[in-house]
Structure 1
Amino acid sequence: MKIIAVKLFLLINLATLSTCQNDKSLNQINTIQGPINVSELGIALTHEHIMSNFGKEIGESSNYDSIKLFNQVIPYLKQLKSFGVNSIFDCTTEYFGRRVDLLKKISDSTKVQIITNTGIYGAANDRYIPEFVYNASTKSISEIWIDEFKNGIKGTKIKPGFIKLAFDNDKQLSDIDKKLFKAGILTHLNTGLTLAVHTGKNIEAVKFQKELLKEYNVHMSAWIWTHAHKVDDDQILIDLAAEGAWISLDGVKESNTNEYIERIKLFKQKYLLNKILLSHDGNGFPRGRKIRKFEEIFKNLIPKMLKNGFTNEDIYQIMVRNPKEAFSIKIRRNSDV
């Protein structure tokens, strides 16, 4: 009964609230089904994996048992749809499992809007960086990603909705991670796609990204600090949010909801709820294994937030408004923001 009540609360209260907002915008977001107006995004999970082969060798990463995949993922996404989830940003990159053809079939079957990405994942000791990238110029790498945005991914009409990149944990940043991020900035300046960068608690990587964004006159709002929840010092997150960066707290679990509530309270106190993104980093089909769930925001976190002084408006801000603003396709120069 408790889960049913939570579902109804979200569906009724957030849907009602959304009709009261003036969300008209010319900005678009690319989904697997095609471009949509940002007002159609709805309740969104901003960092999940519909499926991935992370952990497998790069040459095997695109191979899936599609029947098993569909049998596991489609019912699960339909369940998430019943919670009110309308859109999911899929962070599985090329070379560790991105398959837009399979995502299209899943989206068709579930009516969940799925947003895929362009880019290359530079963490995991660079195991998912293909060899050609090391000798390629920064510009030529960006041109591959820009082409996916303009013409579609792998011969399809499906276009990416954001750029996914990553840094390793080492304080001494690798040249290849730096090069990929620079290519990401060039891609943003040619497409308006937002940079979602796996950064975790690597503060040196944060400093480097901030400096390079400034060098290219790109506003901090073009950048999402992915896995920022791994940082112990909340003040660092607050300071970056105040400068415009998006702070992605994307490791929600049943066991850490109280911790998340306290961190989100701090953002509210600082009038920075408008800079938080919430998600689970879940996985519907991790190397063919059982689901790493991405439902705890709805089953546990939001109900507890509502009991701890947060309002419907606060939830709407985090789960609907923030994803729309973070991922709207627009070139974000310091001079324009």
Structure 2
Amino acid sequence: MDINNMGMTLTHEHIMSNFGANVNDASNYNEAAAFKQIIPYLKNLKDKGIHTIFDCTTAFFGRRVDLLKKISEATGIQIVTNTGYYGAANDNYIPEFAYNESVEAISKKWISEFENGIDSTNIKPGFIKLAFDAGMPSEIDKKLFEAGVLTHKKTGLTLAVHTAENIEAIEAQLNLLEKHHVRYDALIWVHANKIENTAYLLEQASKGLWISLDGVTASNTNHYITILKEFKSKKLLHKILISHDGNSFPRGQKIRPYDAIPDVLIPEILTAGFTENDINQLLVENPKNAFSNQ
């Protein structure tokens, strides 16, 4: 996909996932039921102007690139999948072999997906998805992050890391970036919206870090508008990504919506002093710049 053809983009959603299922069952779906629920929803999103979705469901957590391809072809939505492993959820979705393998060996698996394709397909990842649990970063979370850094250095893929309000985790990540001489703009701080100290987010954004506000719902847009106003006032709107962390087939249950940005947030920020150029910055230009290979 030509990055200039991304159009309006949601950078953190789940087309489908099996969060809460056993890791051995995480990739099993009722395909007919999934397609019946997902395809109309994505067609409706496309009608609302969404052209591209970054799917954040990882391997061992429900990633099925064969199904994503069929859904993309049926809806016209461009779907970008990932490489990496999900280290949050008390490490339930980290494969056992990762504990014993070296950082380099794990990285080679992810680089191979980028160079050769995922699961014997020609589908390749467009970013690296990782995650940290709450509290002091564990050795496995740091190990996977360092493997991600090595993968980035070889492939240019951006690191999107579930970190939320864990300041210790973000600082460990930044230390590892510095250790490997990687720029801060290779990293997206996922779920940064959970941080109450906006000044800290502004500080990290000013250093180059991408700040992902990915919990937008129809009922909390005022909170996001407040943060966006602060970033705009500091001329840092170009470092923000916004999304919902929705799911159109969560363990086969009803949709966790991800249409509040086109339906609610965009109209509201236009009445709050933002411009069409600001919307284009947030939803078109920033995703292009955040995920461009570096």
TM-score normalised by length of structure 2: 0.99
The reply to whether residue 296 of structure 1 matches residue 270 of structure 2 is no
The equivalent residue for 2:197 is 233
The equivalent residue for 1:259 is 223
The separation in 1 between residues aligned to 2:242 and 2:105, in whole angstroms, is 33
Instruction: Give runs of aligned pairs for residues 280-295 of structure 1, distance below 5 A.
Output: 280-295=244-259
Shift of 1:329: 1.4
AA aligned to 1:166 is A
Shift of 1:38: 1.2
The equivalent residue for 2:62 is 97
Instruction: Give runs of aligned pairs for residues 1-337 of structure 1, distance below 5 A.
Output: 36-170=1-135, 172-330=136-294
TM-score normalised by length of structure 1: 0.87
1:223-258 deviations in Å (ceiling 9; x for gaps): 000000000000110001000000000000111101
1:169-190 deviations in Å (ceiling 9; x for gaps): 01x2110000000000000000
AA aligned to 1:304 is E
Q: Sequence identity, in percent?
A: 60
> Which structure 2 segments of 5+ residues have no match?
none
1:164-216 deviations in Å (ceiling 9; x for gaps): 0000001x211000000000000000000000000000000011111110111
The separation in 2 between residues aligned to 1:241 and 1:37, in whole angstroms, is 26
Shift of 1:158: 0.1
2:219 partner SS: helix
The separation in 1 between residues aligned to 2:65 and 2:94, in whole angstroms, is 19
1:125-182 deviations in Å (ceiling 9; x for gaps): 0000111110000000000000000000010000000000000001x21100000000
The separation in 2 between residues aligned to 1:143 and 1:152, in whole angstroms, is 13
2:220 partner SS: helix
The separation in 1 between residues aligned to 2:174 and 2:143, in whole angstroms, is 15
Larger gyration radius, structure 1 or structure 2: 1
AA aligned to 2:261 is I
Question: RMSD in angstroms over aligned alpha carbons?
Answer: 0.5
AA aligned to 1:232 is E
Structure 1 stretches of 4+ with a deviation exceeding 4 A read: none
The separation in 2 between residues aligned to 1:64 and 1:38, in whole angstroms, is 30
The separation in 2 between residues aligned to 1:251 and 1:173, in whole angstroms, is 23
The separation in 2 between residues aligned to 1:173 and 1:185, in whole angstroms, is 16
> Which structure 1 segments of 5+ residues have no match?
1-35, 331-337
1:255 partner SS: coil
2:70 partner SS: helix
1:254 partner SS: coil
Shift of 1:37: 1.7
AA aligned to 2:26 is S
Q: How many residues align?
A: 294
